[in-house]
Amino acid sequence: MRIAVIGSGYVGLVSGACLSDFGHDVTCIDKDERKIEALRRGEMPIYEPGLDSIVAGNVKMGRLAFSTELGPAVEVADVVFIAVGTPSRRGDGHADLSYVYAAARELAQSLRGFTVVATKSTVPVGTGDEIDRIIRETNPAADVAVVSNPEFLREGNAIDDFRRPDRIVVGIADERARQVMTEVYRPLYLNQAPLVFTTRRTSELIKYAGNAFLAMKITFMNEIADLCEEAGANVQDVARGIGLDQRIGSKFLHAGPGYGGSCFPKDTLALIKSAQDLGKPLRLVETTVAVNDTRKRAMARKVIAACGGDVRGRKISILGLTFKPNTDDMRESPALTIIQALQDAGARVAAYDPEGMEQARSLLENVTFGSDPYDAAEGAEALVIVTEWNAFRAMDFQRLKSIMATPLLVDLRNIYRKEEIRPHGFAYVSVGRPA
Ligand code: UGA
């Protein structure tokens, strides 16, 4: 299959690289010349474990190429994936579809022969209809099938998620397109990954409903964690106890500082907006967003309380800045709100993150960045784990105790147990577990 991927951001690049790895002939396209130049040199614009070697291997084999020009790749393509961004529209929370529609208009002019145009970008229900309309208006002679093919990749796990998906969802109305999409995903299909064919609108909604459900699941556990703290119960045991019920499932039950990232916050908002527009408001999702928003500042209050109620002029050290481990992505990271709230309360903040500090420097003011966890912890009155990087899971607490002003660990991801921390002479505060 010949495949063109429009948009070489997170989704486009990972999908394009993995599709070329299946043996397809893939061109990843982006308007950003610097990004394309860097990719041609083998430099990745994002941190994603394993991506660089897949890109390098497939470029070498001649199956993966990068271009700023959409025309030549689209002309010969069997499938054109649209994988451009759909950020939250400033002001109203709707998904901004201007990049998607611009891509549709531009690619329409280069369509030759039967071509499937598959939307990988996360788009509100009904967007495929508009893409279809734009393409046919721009190029009435085009022989095209517009399908929805949402992605379910997690940052930091994207390669594995692509290769071993729980399912592949394709929203389709055309039998020829169905055959083409089956061919695209044949290697996965042979690996038993269920290929779910449905209508385009249903497929678009599956993506949003999935992310909203996961955001709700996390937020539910975060509220249960607060309840556990008051009730003297242990949220991790509650998670295990309910998660073993297969109707609930054990994943995404980790209480923490609230969800962040490039997907859950924007997708829940966009779904809320679509539902309101259709006159069917989703009150559970609305509440999830509100509860998650208040949680981040509540985490800062938790730190302040652990410090005795006053952090004015005191140094607090933050470990982990990205919204989750194994990414350099700082978008909607709980660390941003927590740090701001601590600074508002008068604290001096130092921080360390294995991959996120470059992005963090442009987003945070008056933060001192350490060269490692110990450098950041020097002289601190509290060490706060905000992101559960592996590098924080086996720290030297004797060393930390000797360099910190006060030995206090606030573990917002529950990666330690009080039984292992307190013998080192540390005070220990975690989320949803008995003090
Ligand atoms: C999420 C979905 O998991 C993917 O399936 C989806 O494809 C993607 O959004 C997307 O729409 O593109 P991602 O945002 O990369 O993936 O990361 P997650 O692993 O889902 O984590 C999201 C947030 O939830 C993080 O802040 C994480 O720390 C938090 N989280 C996750 C918890 O607090 N507890 C959990 O149990 C799980």
DSSP character string of 328-378: ---TT-HHHHHHHHHHHTT-EEEEE-TTTHHHHHHH-SSEEEPSSHHHHHT
pLDDT of residue 196: 94
Share of the chain above pLDDT 70, in %: 100
Banded pLDDT at 401 (limits 50, 70, 90): very high
How far is 273 from 262, CA to CA, in rounded Å?
17
pLDDT of residue 53: 97
| Active-site hit among 18, 28, 228, 263 | 263
Catalytic, 263? Answer: yes
Predicted confidence (pLDDT) per residue in 203-249, tens digit: 999 999 999 999 999 999 999 999 999 999 999 999 999 999 999 99
Nearest CA to ligand 1 atom 3: 154
How far is 93 from 14, CA to CA, in rounded Å?
26
Contact between 322 and 153 under an 8 Å Cβ cutoff? The reply is: no
Same fold, 2-198 and 233-435: yes
Q: Is 432 left (phi over 0), alpha (psi -120 to 50) or beta?
A: left
How many C-alpha atoms does 433 have within 13 Å on its Cβ side? 20
How far is 317 from 388, CA to CA, in rounded Å?
15
Q: What is the mean pLDDT of the chain?
A: 96
DSSP character string of 316-336: EEEE--SSSSS----TT-HHH
- The pocket around ligand 1, CB under 6 angstroms, is made up of 122, 151-155, 211, 214, 218, 252-254, 256, 259-261, 263-264, 267, 323-324
Candidates 286, 312, 328; CA nearest to 381 is 312
Architecture of the 233-435 domain: 3-Layer(aba) Sandwich (3.40)
Predicted confidence (pLDDT) per residue in 317-358, tens digit: 999 999 999 999 999 999 999 999 999 999 999 999 999 999
Banded pLDDT at 193 (limits 50, 70, 90): confident
CATH number for 2-198: choose from 3.30.300.90, 3.40.50.720, 2.30.130.10, 3.90.226.10.
3.40.50.720
Candidates 126, 89, 134, 67; CA nearest to 107 is 134
Give me ligand 1 centre to Cα 16, in Å.
21
How far is 255 from 261, CA to CA, in rounded Å?
16
- Domain extents for the chain? 2-198, 233-435
For residue 168, how far is the Cα from the chain centroid? Answer: 18
Task: Write out the two tokens for 285.
Answer: 């999702």
How far is 335 from 385, CA to CA, in rounded Å?
10
pLDDT of residue 423: 97
Could you report the predicted ipTM of this complex, rounded to two decimals?
A: 0.97
Candidates 229, 228, 177, 239; CA nearest to 203 is 177
As a whole number, mean pLDDT of residues 243-259 equals 98
Ligand 1 nearest atom to the CA of residue 388, by list position: 28
Ligand 1 nearest atom to the CA of residue 324, by list position: 28
Residue 203 CB burial class (10 angstroms; 0-12, 13-18, ≥19)? buried
